[in-house]
Structure 1
Amino acid sequence: MKVSELSPPRRISEAPPVRIEAPTVDDGVEVWRIARDSKVLDVNSRYAYLLWCRDFAETTVVARAGRRVLGFVTGYRRPEEPNTLLVWQVAVDAAARGQGLAGRMLNSLFDRVPEVDHLETTITPDNDASIALFTKFAKRRGAPVKVDELFSGELLAPGEHDDHEPENKYRIGPIPDTARQS
């Protein structure tokens, strides 16, 4: 009999559980990478994401399995309306898509930011995935959604001959306090 036959069978390691939590500065590079690799977000510099993870960690979440960042939602309180959480970007790593992670991160973020009863974001008219994400969030929370154009495509176009879809503002709320899942 060979020694290897006496060894206990190998265990198939399970993937670590996904945790949704505030980012650290060290997460900024991974957040930037996911934004860049999404191919749909307007990508900012690494520096901007490092600052975001430092200065807006209370209004931002990352989804993490072990040490690996799988996705993020960045947001901030609107200065003129501190009861409104503006969600700036949502992205999930390609390897983790299709598992409802974006919705779970959005729920977690809203539930962890105190004294907020409205959520806003902007979405281009052609972004069906984001429209579905935010309208499903509103439905789960029993809140109305109001859609208005916030920035025209002309205002956003970088050059004279460039096109950009308008950014429509989705304002969700008021969200009943009883809808919080915390």
Structure 2
Amino acid sequence: MTAAQADLQAEFLEMPEGLRTDRPEVADGAALWRIARDSRTLDLNSSYSYLLWCRDFAGTSVVARDTEGTPVGFVTGYVRPDRPGTLLVWQVAVDAAYRGRGLAAAMLDGLTARIAGEQPLTALETTIAPGNTASERLFTSYAARHGATVEREVLFDTGQFPDGPHDPEVLYRIGPLPQTPHSPRSDSL
């Protein structure tokens, strides 16, 4: 483990025993795609998109690894260009063998702590399809832990999806988030 990885690991105080986190690498893209596919709840993007995500948005994403370094969960996100204090969480997925251990919440807390340490972070956004109770619980409990409110509104209605029947996507906007001192953004991690 490099010093940079050790620093990042220290930010994830509630990781389940035996698991560690770091920034995703391009080599993780295929595993992230498989975890998303096997979740059977996420919209599966192309394998190419997961490779690009691991390359271009590694700084705003996180991957959890088992003792052998194999990815077992991930959170992908990006800072919105028109709202630089807002992290949009794109997908959260945990391998079935590691669910029920608090891994998704630990990754989400650690990721937002890392980003808030690098730049001002005032809000977190995600979209959730109605009926996805696991995601609803994850993000409402995140808001409660951080003393933030949750606003909900339909972001994309069913009729806006060109590829057939799709549930609406409800935007969850969580904020304001507690402010922490931040340091200049570093691309070395």
**CA-to-partner distance for each residue in 1:144-179, whole Å, 9 max, x for gaps?**
1100110001112513xxx2211000000011125x
The ranges of structure 1 where at least 4 consecutive aligned residues each deviate by more than 4 angstroms after the TM superposition are none
Equivalent AA in structure 2 for residue 144 of structure 1: T
**CA-to-partner distance for each residue in 1:17-50, whole Å, 9 max, x for gaps?**
2112111111111000100111111111111101
- Give me the TM-score of the superposition, normalised by structure 2: 0.82
Does 1:88 pair with 2:93?
no
List alignment gaps of at least 5 residues for structure 1.
1-15
Q: Name the residue aligned to 1:51.
A: 52
Cα drift, residue 57 of structure 1? 0.3
List alignment gaps of at least 5 residues for structure 2.
1-16, 183-189
Bigger relative contact order (CA 8 A; separation at least 6): 2
Look up the SS of the partner of 1:177 in the other structure.
coil
What is the distance in 1 between the residues matched to 2:37 and 2:94?
11
Q: Name the residue aligned to 2:154.
A: 149
- Give me the TM-score of the superposition, normalised by structure 1: 0.85
Q: Name the residue aligned to 1:73.
A: 75
Equivalenced residues, count: 162
Greater Rg, structure 1 or structure 2? Answer: 1
Percent of paired sites with the same residue: 57
Q: Name the residue aligned to 2:126.
A: 121
Equivalent AA in structure 2 for residue 45 of structure 1: S
Q: Name the residue aligned to 1:136.
A: 141
Cα drift, residue 135 of structure 1? 0.2
C-alpha RMSD of matched pairs (Å): 1.6
Cα drift, residue 141 of structure 1? 0.2
Look up the SS of the partner of 2:131 in the other structure.
coil
